[in-house]
Amino acid sequence: MNVLHIVGARPNFMKVAPVMAAIERQRGVMQALVHTGQHYDANMSEVFFAQLGIPVPDLNLEVGSGSHAEQTANVMARLEPVILERQPDIVLVYGDVNSTLAAALVCAKLSVSVAHVEAGLRSFDRSMPEEINRLLTDQVADLLFTPSAEAGDNLLREGVAAEKIHYVGNVMIDTLVRLLPRANSAGLVNLPERYVLVTLHRPSNVDDLPMLRRIMDALDEISRQLRVLFPIHPRTRQRLHECGIEVTLNGQLQLMDPIGYLEFLALQRQACVVITDSGGIQEECTYLGVPCLTLRETTERPVTVTIGTNIVVGRDMRRLHREVDRIVAGKAKQGAIPPLWDGKASERIADLLVAWHHNRTSGQTVPFGADPTASHSGS
């Protein structure tokens, strides 16, 4: 079997690493990695490849930045000849970034099978570009690997055939489980006993400059109680500059350059609370048992709210303050780890891919995925 993985942005890297490692342990499988270059900053890309143990990409399309349309179109144009040349049996796409949708569309047009890792997640908010990417990718995918039970429910409601859907668990957690023992904050910062960790990158927060200013004012007030550590996404840094908010490396509100996965994980597991608009960090906090406050009106990962430690506070800065106060007072929400977030999702994916390829090449039909919302892989 010839497998091609397509990644383009930092969240993809944490998902592809364990899947490639699991496939490597299978017999008779060749695999290659294409990096679209959607994230081209070294702090957002190269350091992650090194820390996660991802092999050097076989090809980098170097699409760089641009509008959603430009990025998607550039990936499609540069990826099509790669697919035609390599003739993969199946292409794996990850998450919900522009590269994910672009690769899925190219493969659908060329009648090349697509597997979507982290399928079925829905925020039900189509103002989010990622939601459009998720919806369209799932409609053209041949195999849909879901991280949680409600993701399978979403797909079934949208008319996806049950036999395509496979509940495997969360590959992000596979990476966390593997690397948590190596996470080390030594030398990164002079950590206080209690601190808040912040990440922001969503357009609804950082491209809306009045909203960004309100968030920064709220963080400044919170920093009077607790040290606030804020590794800054490159686009967020640019928006802060446009707001006239000076970046400082001192004081209780400490703005930092982007850091590697291991360093961030070390900060995350020791934080008093994490304030974020990232989907993946909501999941990591749930696994780590760290309180998470999400600065979005919706989440495509509701299991982090219903089972985990996440609270969606929206754009309400007064509620943000109230929830931080509750956590500081020792009244943090208690969560649990969702089913199949056990560090073995990638192994389930590898097994399912081999079974899928065997069915295709042998002409046999082995039913699996009949119950995509059950708490098993369906294999």
Catalytic hit among 201, 357, 358, 376: 201
DSSP 259-273: --HHHHHHHHHH-SE
271 vs 44, 192, 316, CA distance in Å? 22, 10, 22
Residues 6 or more apart in contact with residue 339 via CB below 8 angstroms: 148, 149, 169, 375
Which backbone phi and psi does 353 adopt, to 5 degrees?
-65, -45
Partnered with residue 196 across adjacent β-strands are 228, 273
Buried b (16+ CB within 10 A) or exposed e, 62-100: ebeeeeeeebbebbbebbbebbeebebbbbbbbbbbbbb
Taken as a whole, the chain contains a residue count of 379
Catalytic status, residue 241: no
Tell me the catalytic residues. Answer: 201
